[in-house]
Amino acid sequence: TTGKKARSVSAPGQGYRSCIIFNSKTGKIIYSHSPDRQIAPASLTKILSIYVAEDAIRNRKLNRHAKVTVSAKAASAGGSRMGLRTGDRVSLDELIQGMAIASGNDASIALAEYIGGSEQKFVRMMNKKAKAIGMSRSTFKNASGLPAPGQFTTARDMLALAKSYLSAYPRNLKTYHNKSYHTYKGKFSTNANPMLGAFQGADGLKTGYVNASGYNLIATANRNNQRFI
């Protein structure tokens, strides 16, 4: 509202299945629309996968520059890809870049197999992490967000993930998530986040799409010393 008269504005949730908007400075939710509605997480899943990887690196269980050998399963992943081929030797850091910028499902599987020994074992690590940070309404079935029966989340849980991840690894916004493009062996991929470069202060975080949920977005922006998610 402005002045003495209330001004009618379109609610930010109109046209969306669910959303939630959070001000990190005040610690308050400033808008929500069906935030606990179950949705397929799509590639927003990759934020959790990267989170698990970063924890392993921080705990010195892994080296960011360690070389990962790409399996046939990873190389044959459908959907968005960074362009991996069977037998490629790629650093863990490059895989994270491929996940964050190109939204590579191939990179997600390669990372999961390297860290967990298998994607299935890595997914157990993901679900354990999700519960630890308060994602009580989410279940993950793979490391990429590709369609899978029983895989679901909510906008509120994705907010919990974004808050925890950004608190633990704030530098990743600049290092990975606000990059506009990624190249790997001649394959050029653009960041699908429509906010980058179009909205003042936008610096992340992740997009996704599957038929079951449509377009998903965790958007982050820093403006006037305030961060919004």
Cα gap 36→207, rounded to integer Å: 19
| Buried residues in 106-117 as b, exposed as e (16+ CB within 10 A) | bbbbbbbbbbbe
Which of 18, 103, 164, 189 is an active site residue?
Answer: 103
Cα 148 vs. chain centroid, distance in angstroms? 17
Q: Catalytic: 138?
A: no
Q: Catalytic: 43?
A: yes
Which of 18, 43, 49, 189 is an active site residue?
Answer: 43
Instruction: Using DSSP, state whether 190 is helix, strand or coil.
Output: strand
Which amino acid is present at 23?
Answer: N
Q: Give how far Cα 201 sits from Cα of 144, 173, 216, 226, Å.
A: 27, 12, 20, 10
Cα gap 164→150, rounded to integer Å: 24
Cα gap 203→177, rounded to integer Å: 7
Report which of 170, 177, 161 is spatially closest to residue 97, judged by C-alpha positions: 177
Q: Are 74 and 99 in contact (CB under 8 A)?
A: no
Which amino acid is present at 181?
Answer: Y
Count, in order, helices (H) and strands (E) of the chain: 7, 9
Which of 46, 129, 141, 206 is an active site residue?
Answer: 46
Q: Catalytic: 32?
A: no
By annotation, the residues acting in catalysis are 43, 46, 103
